[in-house]
Chain A
């Protein structure tokens, strides 16, 4: 006669050190093996989309900051591009260049957090602080530009809130020079560490077909081997002018689409972002960043969908205009929210410790999941 056994329900989060915010995971365990994972979200829901309906178009920008708080610049970027498309206005070259530089700096800063906290999830504490040390330098660059370190409200419809600081170009070049060697240091310390590889290679394999079916985008999709990057596929702003590669997972340490691939794609993307910044930084044309900002933003009746490649994936803004100064509806396609859905698929049959590794490799920001 078989012994009657029960599975154990383990509640992970919302207050747990490794759920990257207030995510709650309901784990059904058989010993330490995962039978099922149910993510419960909504602990950080702030009604962004509903709020946006009561605001004028520029007033929405600070709210976009607060979605993906690790990539605020990019959230601004997507939103202002959408509104500019709706209005049909062109922005000066200078603004375009500064936007791209800021966006790529933000991508590096965001990936640094992703990589650092991923190390922390696996148990390596030191790379986390190295990453934050480098991120701090980027935040300093943002601070001299617009005064804020996390929530910038920097990109405005038709322009920017401030022009760059006279020292910005020099400081950014200094940063690139200092930062390049630290990527190698990070690889030596974490990426190629035997224990780290043991923990992440062949864990949480995301087959390409599954990734596409779930609508996974960003580094998580590229980790599965598809070079899909909106900066290349559907170049917005002035991304078509720069030469950069789209790194994809190659299964160097295990299978294509495992945690290590997703992690390593981020490391490689930082290098590509540096390349874009290097190409752009010397070509910033002269001009006035405020000249194209409209006095009154009142777009014609219509709808617009603008998608951009945010550090976490495809960030889409769908805006319906009823011809007034307030948007009738703002819908956000948040990459973290879509990517999170694949978690249950990835975790089945793994151990509790692997859930942490898998969740970290998807790299979600709860502010964006819940909005």
Chain B
């Protein structure tokens, strides 16, 4: 995308800015939509209507909330560590926002076409942990501190199964570039990695159950990484009030909120790229059939957003259905179940791929 813009404008600064602005706009628009969606989804699951008064079915509600949050007084507790307290939300938001740079929304819309996209995303999203710890420590509140400690332990633990599954997929696809992984799974849905990948043969059918296992492990651990129910222990409302962002108010609180929804999107998109073909359509493109080339990237954007939003919806669905695990049970799930299965899966997929 950068190259195309550079050819168009022949100005590095303008094209860099535009490339950086596209994901930012997308994530903001998406967050506005996702928060509204969460409210509607939860409301309809609970026999309620949810927001109805601001615009058609309350679609302006999040915008109204944002305006309210910007106007709010930015309170800082007297004994808080002001520097860390102010940096924390920025760091958390930056961490989750930076992940969007490497996500291919379609073959034409990629912030940065780096070769090590997967590695980059895993690395940069760990920045969030630092932000969360900072927020918890600097708030000078025991609930925040407990929340931050739980959160750090949880995210670090669950990065291991995630990384193992990612490693499995990298071994299978042979690339770290998210764009290339998406390209490999082109044409039809039976070419998706979930269904054993694009190459026909015995290996494909042997791989299907192991891919399914990898997919489930990946989905569970990403759920934990973004602190969603049943793994929302760091911000367990009924125990720790709001966890690490208890002391935050106004737009700083809003940034934690935005980053939570951005993270949901980021992990969902990685799951859909690794297993469900990313931006690839499940059954060919209208653009190719009609011979209209510019239609293809738009279709790809549609498919990518639909797949990802589906996973976001599943996350919401789980949140409003399941209770919360306890902190030690959460660790048990990770260390006793997910990691051994992920390792076994890694070895089996490795052997099958080699043969």
Residues of A whose CB lies within 8 Å of any CB of B are 8, 10-11, 16-18, 32, 119-126, 129-130, 133, 189-190, 193, 195-196, 198-199, 351-354, 356
Give chain B interface residues in 214-233, CB to chain A under 8 Å. Answer: 229-230, 232-233
CA distance A119 to B229 in the complex (A): 13
Q: Is the interface of A mostly helix, strand, loop or mixed?
A: helix
- Asked whether A130 lies within 8 Å of B46 as measured between CB atoms, the reply is yes
CA distance A123 to B232 in the complex (A): 9
B115: interface (CB < 8 Å): no
The chain A residue with its CB closest to the CB of B143 is A10
Q: Using Cβ atoms and an 8 Å threshold, which residues of chain A touch B229?
A: 123
Q: Using Cβ atoms and an 8 Å threshold, which residues of chain B touch A189?
A: 321
B126: interface (CB < 8 Å): no
Q: Using Cβ atoms and an 8 Å threshold, which residues of chain B touch A351?
A: 326-328
- Asked whether A123 lies within 8 Å of B323 as measured between CB atoms, the reply is yes
**9-residue interface stretch from B22-30, B236-244, B266-274, B295-303:** B236-244
- Asked whether B230 lies within 8 Å of A16 as measured between CB atoms, the reply is no
CA distance A354 to B143 in the complex (A): 15
How many A-B pairs have beta carbons closer than 8 Å: the answer is 78
A-B pairs, top 9 by smallest CB distance, nearest first, are: A123-B324, A124-B323, A129-B46, A18-B238, A122-B323, A123-B323, A121-B238, A353-B326, A196-B323
Question: What bracket does the count of chain B residues touching chain A fall in?
Answer: 20 to 34
- Asked whether A120 lies within 8 Å of B238 as measured between CB atoms, the reply is yes
B49: interface (CB < 8 Å): no
Residues of B whose CB lies within 8 Å of any CB of A are 42, 45-48, 142-143, 146, 229-230, 232-233, 236-239, 241, 319-329
Q: Using Cβ atoms and an 8 Å threshold, which residues of chain B touch A8?
A: 142
- A38 to chain B minimum Cβ distance, whole angstroms, is 16
Q: Using Cβ atoms and an 8 Å threshold, which residues of chain A touch B143?
A: 10
Q: Using Cβ atoms and an 8 Å threshold, which residues of chain B touch A353?
A: 233, 236, 239, 326-327
The chain A residue with its CB closest to the CB of B230 is A195
CA distance A200 to B232 in the complex (A): 18
- Asked whether B324 lies within 8 Å of A130 as measured between CB atoms, the reply is no
Interface-central residue, B42, B143, B233, B239, by most chain A CB under 10 Å: B239
Q: Using Cβ atoms and an 8 Å threshold, which residues of chain A touch B321?
A: 124, 126, 189
- Asked whether A122 lies within 8 Å of B237 as measured between CB atoms, the reply is no
- Asked whether A119 lies within 8 Å of B241 as measured between CB atoms, the reply is no
CA distance A237 to B236 in the complex (A): 45
Which of the residues A18, A119, A126, A130 comes within 8 Å of B239, measured between beta carbons? A18
The chain B residue with its CB closest to the CB of A360 is B238
**16 A-B residue pairs with CB within 8 Å:** A17-B237, A18-B238, A123-B324, A124-B324, A125-B320, A129-B46, A129-B47, A130-B47, A189-B321, A190-B323, A195-B230, A199-B326, A352-B146, A352-B239, A353-B236, A356-B238
